[in-house]
């Protein structure tokens, strides 16, 4: 079989979706790890965080779908995804990623701007506060 007859893999599209998946997963992991640091005064603000996480999970899902279709096209000569499937999945992944990142930034801004009294970030240890107390 001649290698020229095999479909070319759009490496830029594959790299784009891999980077998008990595970034969305990273934002999810970091925001989940530090969610206890953000204690908004009103619990309804957590809805914004939930929307952010749903968008980021959707970005990962559609990024994986686009990556899978690109790889299958390259590995299986007879495979043809539906028309514009890769483009639509990649666009949707990008849109969900930007939406998820924007909504997380909004959540963080609101949460930091409306911190409840007495919940102003991490508690300092005694060794740090002992030198400032007379």
Per-residue pLDDT tens digits for 27-80: 999 988 988 877 777 778 889 999 999 999 999 999 999 998 888 887 887 878
Quote the mean pLDDT of the chain.
80
- Does residue 120 contact residue 54 with C-beta atoms inside 8 Å? no
From 24-28, 66-70, 124-128, the region with the lowest mean pLDDT: 124-128
61-65 long-range Cβ contacts below 8 angstroms, 24+ apart? 61/93, 62/89, 62/90, 62/92, 62/93, 62/96, 63/17, 63/18, 63/20, 63/21, 63/24, 63/89, 63/90, 63/93, 63/97, 64/17, 64/21, 65/89, 65/93
pLDDT of residue 132: 52
Residues 19-28 have a mean pLDDT of: 93
d(CA 131, CA 125): 11
Torsion of CA 45, 51, 56, 62, to 10 degrees: 180
Q: What's the whole-model pTM score? A: 0.74
Beta pairing partners, 127: none
Structure tokens that stand for 37 in this block: 């640091």
Q: Vertex 18, ends 14 and 22: CA angle to 5°?
A: 170
Q: Is 120 helix (H, G, I), strand (E, B) or coil?
A: coil
**Extents of the domains making up the chain:** 7-130
d(CA 54, CA 23): 15
pLDDT of residue 95: 97
Of 88, 111, 108, 92, which Cα lies nearest the Cα of 30?
Answer: 108
């Amino acid at each position: 079989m001649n290698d020229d007859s095999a479909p070319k893999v759009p490496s830029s599209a594959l790299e784009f979706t891999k980077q998008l998946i990595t970034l969305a997963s990273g934002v999810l992991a970091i925001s989940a790890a530090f969610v206890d640091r953000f204690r908004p005064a009103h619990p309804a603000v957590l809805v914004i965080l939930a929307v952010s996480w749903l968008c980021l999970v959707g970005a990962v899902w559609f990024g994986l779908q686009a990556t899978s279709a690109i790889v299958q096209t390259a590995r299986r000569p007879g495979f043809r995804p539906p028309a514009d499937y890769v483009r639509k999945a990649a666009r949707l992944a990008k849109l969900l990623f930007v939406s998820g990142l924007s909504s997380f930034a909004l959540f963080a801004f609101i949460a930091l701007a409306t911190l409840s009294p007495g919940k102003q970030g991490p508690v300092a240890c005694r060794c740090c506060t002992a030198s400032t107390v007379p």
